[in-house]
């Protein structure tokens, strides 16, 4: 029979991120019997060393006695009984010594909130603004989901702007794939043939976005492509779909050139070289390629810490608010959207959507409260924030963390990480040993070793997972 720890792992993996309403389970995918299918596959196939780290290349099945029971047997709402609410004194006794770890750096702040009640259970400099790094993506996601809704899709379109002129219009989807571009070319070629057009010029329209295309982090950076409304596979020059990669210096022109080549291969004569249109294009729509729903974009952004998606979603939020789709317009739109959600915004600053800019500022309490809002049945549109958080020891940016020792929270913790030079952060959710769903954030600055700082943050989160206090 599984021991108590195994049951907690199962309950944590299934219940973290659930709203206090059991009915919310049905609307949050991708699920299979109430548990994310990717996590089930990872859990079933991962080999382990005694210290909990994955064995390189191992795909061994776990022992039969450690297999998870059917999700239906453990998929219950997090505890809401006031008797199970952790005491502030007990949490402080657990967390304060860990937060004093000098490996975390000179500035260390933290906040823990009970998701069911919204009560701040622990705070250390909780209201102090700090550099959030990539944990700001939680705020970007919340703003976009609240304004656009989880079903929103970003469209790349093709317009006929004249008898022999065609324009590819960027809609702001950085995840446009080569396969989607081929399908777009198929549909465009058929539409041109139906119109009796055998030859056309090709332009590309980038008017949706305004302002600088270069992130303040600088040019030729592997973290992010130039921020334009038209790009193929995030401007990556390799076959990767996440992580560091060399990027195109002009992803829009490269995408238009690739589209022209595809049209020619389909019998359409494209005259000249694709050129950027000087103004917004207008004309009948020939074809359209839509992104996956915003809910899936948010999950991908949070799981892999995707900077290109983050900047795109910040601009989509600005467009919906009738503001310029620029760094400054996005800042205004995100701030306004979070304010409408009721988030206290004293000291908050959103200079970008990705967290690459050190001028960003959020407090630990603000991030923890955002996560509590996402767990609330009052805000079901925010649920993809929780389902997109990496799972400790299993997925995304936490796949190689929480591997035994005092930081053994694998499977129990879901959290977004944040890392810049000297800046380390973690913000997420955990089902504690007493069944309470807690949201937490720890922000640090000044660490000289990112590895040591991350270990310290993992210990803090693991202490919450073990808490029956």
Of the candidates 97, 90, 136, 135, the one whose C-alpha atom is nearest the C-alpha of residue 114 is 90
Contacts within 8 Å (CB) and 24+ apart, 259-263: 259/168, 259/181, 259/184, 259/185, 259/202, 260/202, 262/181, 262/182, 262/185, 263/185, 263/188, 263/189, 263/200, 263/202
Token match 């030079």: residue? 421
Cβ 310 vs Cβ 303: under 8 Å: no
CA distance 73 to 295: 27
Strands 199-205 and 269-276: what pairing? Answer: parallel
Q: Which residues are catalytic?
A: 134, 137, 305
Cβ 92 vs Cβ 111: under 8 Å: no
Specify burial of residue 90 (Cβ count, 10 A radius: 0-12, 13-18, 19+). Answer: middle
CA distance 89 to 94: 9
Residues contacting residue 214 through CB under 8 Å, at least 6 positions apart: 226, 227
CA distance 405 to 400: 14
The partner residues of 437 in beta bridges, in order of sequence, read 431
CA distance 200 to 185: 13
SS3 string of 331-353?
Answer: HHHHHHHHHHCCCCCCCCECCCC
Cβ 20 vs Cβ 77: under 8 Å: yes
* Tokens standing for residue 466: 């073990």
């Amino acid at each position: 029979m599984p021991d108590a720890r195994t049951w907690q792992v199962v309950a944590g993996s299934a219940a973290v991120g659930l709203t206090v309403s059991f009915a919310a389970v049905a609307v949050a995918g991708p699920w299979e019997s109430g548990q994310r299918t990717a996590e089930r596959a990872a859990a079933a196939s991962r080999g382990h060393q005694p210290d909990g780290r994955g064995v390189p290349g191992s795909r061994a099945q776990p022992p039969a006695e450690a297999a998870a029971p059917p999700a239906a047997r453990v998929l219950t709402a997090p505890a809401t009984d006031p008797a199970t609410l952790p005491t502030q004194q007990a949490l402080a006794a657990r967390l304060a010594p860990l937060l004093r770890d000098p490996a975390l750096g000179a500035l260390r702040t933290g906040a823990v909130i009970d998701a069911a009640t919204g009560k701040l259970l622990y705070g250390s400099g909780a209201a102090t603004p700090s550099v959030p790094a990539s944990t700001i993506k939680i705020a970007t996601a919340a703003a976009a989901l609240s304004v656009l809704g989880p079903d929103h899709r970003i469209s790349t379109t093709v317009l006929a702007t004249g008898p022999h002129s065609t324009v590819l219009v960027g809609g702001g989807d950085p995840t446009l794939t080569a396969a989607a571009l081929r399908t777009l070319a198929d549909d465009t070629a058929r539409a041109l043939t139906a119109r009796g057009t055998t030859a056309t010029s090709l332009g590309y329209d980038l008017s949706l976005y305004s302002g600088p295309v270069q992130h303040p982090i600088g040019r030729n950076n592997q973290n992010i492509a130039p921020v334009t409304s038209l790009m193929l596979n995030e401007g990556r020059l390799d076959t990767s779909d996440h992580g560091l990669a060399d990027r195109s210096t002009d992803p829009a022109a490269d995408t238009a050139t690739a589209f022209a080549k595809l049209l020619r291969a389909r019998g359409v004569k494209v005259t000249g070289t694709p050129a950027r249109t000087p103004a917004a294009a207008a004309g009948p729509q020939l074809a359209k390629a839509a992104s996956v729903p915003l809910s899936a974009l948010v999950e991908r952004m949070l799981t892999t810490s995707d900077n290109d998606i983050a900047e795109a979603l910040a601009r989509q939020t600005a467009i919906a608010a009738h503001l310029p789709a620029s760094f400054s317009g996005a800042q205004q739109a995100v701030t306004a959207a979070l304010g409408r959600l009721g988030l206290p915004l004293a000291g908050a600053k959103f200079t970008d959507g990705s967290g690459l800019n050190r001028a960003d500022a959020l407090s630990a309490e603000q991030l923890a409260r955002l996560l509590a809002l996402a767990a609330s049945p009052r805000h079901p549109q925010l649920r993809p924030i929780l389902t997109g958080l990496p799972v400790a020891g299993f997925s995304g940016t936490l796949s190689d963390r929480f591997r035994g020792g005092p930081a053994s929270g694998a499977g129990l913790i879901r959290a977004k990480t944040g890392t810049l030079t000297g800046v380390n952060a973690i913000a997420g959710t955990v089902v504690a040993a007493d069944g309470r769903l807690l949201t937490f954030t720890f922000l640090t600055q000044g660490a000289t070793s990112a590895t040591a700082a991350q270990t310290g943050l993992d210990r803090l989160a693991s202490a919450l997972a073990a808490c029956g206090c």
